[in-house]
Chains A and B, each alone.
Chain A
Amino acid sequence: MAGGEPVRPGRTATNPAPRFAWTRHRALDLMQTYAGAIALVLLILYNVIFNASAFLTVNAIRVNLTQVAEIVIVAVGMTLVIATGGIDLSVGSMMAIAGVVAATILLSDVAPWNVPYLGGALAYVVPILVVAVFGAANAFLIANMRIQPIIATLILFISGRGIAQVIVGGRLQSFREPEWQVIGQGRVLGIPVQAIIMIVIVAVAAWVLARTAFGRYVLAVGGNEEASRLAGVPVTRVKYAVYIISAMLAGLAGLISIAINSAADPANIGRNMELSAIAAVAVGGTSLLGGRATIVGTLIGSLIIQLTTYTLLTEGLTDAWVRVVTAAAILAAVLIQRRSTR
């Protein structure tokens, strides 16, 4: 039966809506498309005008970029997952697993240090491959066992950090490998290396989403899974791909995190990262129902949350208030989205 919302009296099938509704609809569309960018510009302007001495310093910009990079990298993977109509709660745990695996390799004697850079390379590659396997496990539960994504990834959200603690016996692993730590502490032309990695990942992901068959499949699966299957879209493979990508990007963020701190603390690497990433995706304008996604939006969303926090802290608000106001900002962003998707 042709379902739908009940019509208000006065509207008929031949004249479904008054004309001005179209322009209103367009206005809301524009608002949704650019709301994030506008908010970001306002935040920057506010800081430039009222806070120039602190904000417009190389150091402040570096701090902001450094702090936001991990979130953006994780949130890009989260965007792809959410675009398929899923969610990945396990990213924080993935960061912890990757972090402790890398630290273990860096501290181990078995690594063949006599081959130049081999140990360092292994400490980059192995942790990311390890979490890729865990990402595949998420996808197995979701695509093959048909468990809801929120439950399936909750399994590793809970157990992943435990696994990380078991790997290192729960102890903090401190290390010093300056060359290896360039991903967290290095700079190129004064720009933090992790910010460059972040930009490259955003650019590649945006391009993949827009231009490759895989990117279109991601959106198709999220938009209508059954229709996609009937159109020959490899739905299962697409799901494996997004959860593995999400895990690998989280793993990379975990490596950056331990490189910054010169230590891997299994209890704290990537703590609450899943929530920050989901918030960034939501603020960026990606529909949590799937089918519509914007990688650049996610970058903007991450920057908004970062700058809101930064601005409030420099204004002298306490950490507790900063959380409350940031949450309000997220709510506002999501409400704007909801109105225009009606």
Chain B
Amino acid sequence: MATRALPETNAADGARPLLLAMDGITKTFPGVVALSGASLRVGRGEVHALVGQNGAGKSTLVRILTGAHRRDSGEVVFAGQPVDFRSPQAAQRAGVSTIYQEINLVPYRSIAENIFLGREPRRFGLLDWRAMNRNARDLLRRLDISLDVTRPLYELNVALQQMVALARALSFESKLVVLDEPTSSLDEREVQTLFAVIRGLKQNGVSVLFITHRLDELYAVCDRVTIMRDGQTVAERAIPTIQKLELVATMLGKELGEVRQEGQTGFDQARRTARRTGPPMLEARNLRREPALRGASLSLRAGETIGLAGLLGSGRTEVARAIFAADRLDGGEVEFGGGPARFHGPAHAIRAGIGLCGEDRKAEGIIPYLSVRENLTLAALPTLTTAGIVDRKRQRAIVDRFITRLGIKASSPEQPVRELSGGNQQKVLLARWLCLHPKLLILDEPTRGIDVGAKAEIQALIDELAGQGLSVLMISSELEEILEGADRVAVMRDGETVAILDHAEVSQDRLLSLMAHGHEDDAALANSGPPIANDVAPDRGDQRGGR
């Protein structure tokens, strides 16, 4: 069995015989170390959760397991054999099936055909429909599902399509089924069905690797959990031996009860104590957008910085997008600058004085082939044109001013923005809003994937701007940023704001507890009872994972 000791691994806590052992896995992409010594051990007939923040390396590790990526180094032992899958097909032949959020099946063919796609039973060279339908029914029965297997797949809802995909995995005699955030598009009842099927798989001796952001589900169905952070495996535990709070703390790399050192960020702590409060700037009430937002409220004054904390999938990003009118809302009200705001879209919100720096710079921020100059002034173009013609002189003046002011490192304003480092791209995107003199700036993970120096610079800049009267709504997964940078902190869980705390009331343990439980549960810190008892309340639906 285990030859090398894992950090925080307790071999005596009920581990089953191993089916899969990945050890010392490293993987580098251009400019990024995705994995540095990650490990993953899954026992036979075990439901194993894999958790971690965005960028922790979960997806890369799974892709290496399923043959979608090749590892740089490390060992993978599957069913007693050292393996190196060269493709997802090879992994599938060996007994590793992966079921993604989007079902990769053929919608217009029947359920039975989908289960046996590519391996249809034949008789005298023709399809043996009766055998195929009978076998399909048998497989589904093993999962306790009865469906008319001749119905086309598209008639089923997403959950049942997943069941079909699971039946297909079973038909491959899979030993391990990987479920990549399977519940993100399911409603509560469908989730329960899926869990029943997962338990069915387990009874059939099949192991399940379950990637999820939803802690309640993890406690409802998993036996063990592997926690990843920064490309490494930081803990592997049996579910009954780890509290939710501890799990969250481990995921974020925090020690419970640890006395936090101040001054880990570029935020100025002196300013925080001499906090100014201007007139109300933003008031968002009961924002709803199914399934990710279920009643988020917050308010913001001029010159105030609010930190928005929460785990991945808690609805943080959705709040930001809702205020900016990037997504339509199902319900709720937004007031901005003292009056009701019903923005038709981002352009409208921008005119009102709001800017949004999105979470994903590549997908939502930069226009890769356009220059620094053009990226920087993209939102400001309407103010830089006369009769549609860009005033190059004024454009250049603005660009030069912000390049100097933010210390953007580019060979020239004409350099394509995709050639810049992440930190400099982020500065360009900040400048895109700052040159419009906004009243409210929404920053979604403003320092993710940025080197330490640029990080501190950006944090100091946020402080400086707030000092000049700018309101900032800052979403961050880094607790330091929330703790040191925000005048007040709003905590989100399951699409709701569960608490709004003043800077003085905020502590790391308090935040962790709110993020994990949705309420402050001091008992949970000391209590050693089975966490499942606290968590029987099923999740009330689904959230979108990180975008």
Contact = CB atoms under 8 A, between A and B. Distances in A.
Interface of A: 1-7, 9, 11-13, 16, 211-214, 216-217, 219-220, 223-224, 226-234, 291-292
A12 B363 CA distance: 25
Contacts of A4: 29-30, 32
B390 A227 contact: no
B: contact size bracket: 35 or more
Contact of A227 (B34, B367, B388): B367
A224 B392 CA distance: 23
B29 A231 contact: no
B313 interface: no
A23 to B, nearest CB: 16
Nearest to B60: A1
Interface string B341-377: 0000111001100001010000111111110001000
8 contacts: A1-B54, A220-B367, A226-B363, A227-B366, A229-B346, A230-B358, A232-B379, A233-B347
B374 A216 contact: yes
B29 A227 contact: no
Interface string B506-520: 000000000000000
Interface string B391-412: 0100000000000000000000
B28 A7 contact: yes
B156 interface: no
B370 A220 contact: yes
Given A16-B31, A211-B389, A232-B347, A226 B364 contact: yes
Nearest to B61: A1
Contact of A2 (B55, B358, B388, B390): B55
A212 B388 contact: yes
Identify which of A1, A217, A292 gathers the most chain B CB atoms within 10 Å of its CB: A1
B336 interface: no
B378 to A, nearest CB: 5
B390 A212 contact: yes
Given A1-B59, A233-B378, A228 B367 contact: yes
Nearest to A341: B369
Given A212-B385, A229-B346, A230-B356, A1 B57 contact: yes
Contacts of B58: 1
Contact of B32 (A2, A212, A220): A2
Nearest to A292: B369
Given A2-B34, A13-B32, A213-B382, A224 B388 contact: no
Contacts of B356: 230
Interface in B48-94: 54-55, 57-60, 69-70, 72
A224 B30 contact: no
B30 A232 contact: no
A132 B226 CA distance: 60
Contacts of A1: 34, 54-55, 57-60
Contacts of A16: 30-31
B385 A227 contact: no
A248 B33 CA distance: 51
Given A2-B55, A212-B385, A220-B367, A230 B346 contact: yes
Interface centre among B28, B34, B374, B449 (most CB of A within 10 A): B28
Contacts of B369: 219, 223, 291-292
A216 B34 CA distance: 35
A213 B55 contact: no
Nearest to A226: B364
Interface in B203-242: none
A238 to B, nearest CB: 12
Given A212-B385, A292-B369, A13 B31 contact: yes
Given A216-B374, A230-B346, A13 B368 contact: no
Contact of B367 (A13, A211, A224): A224
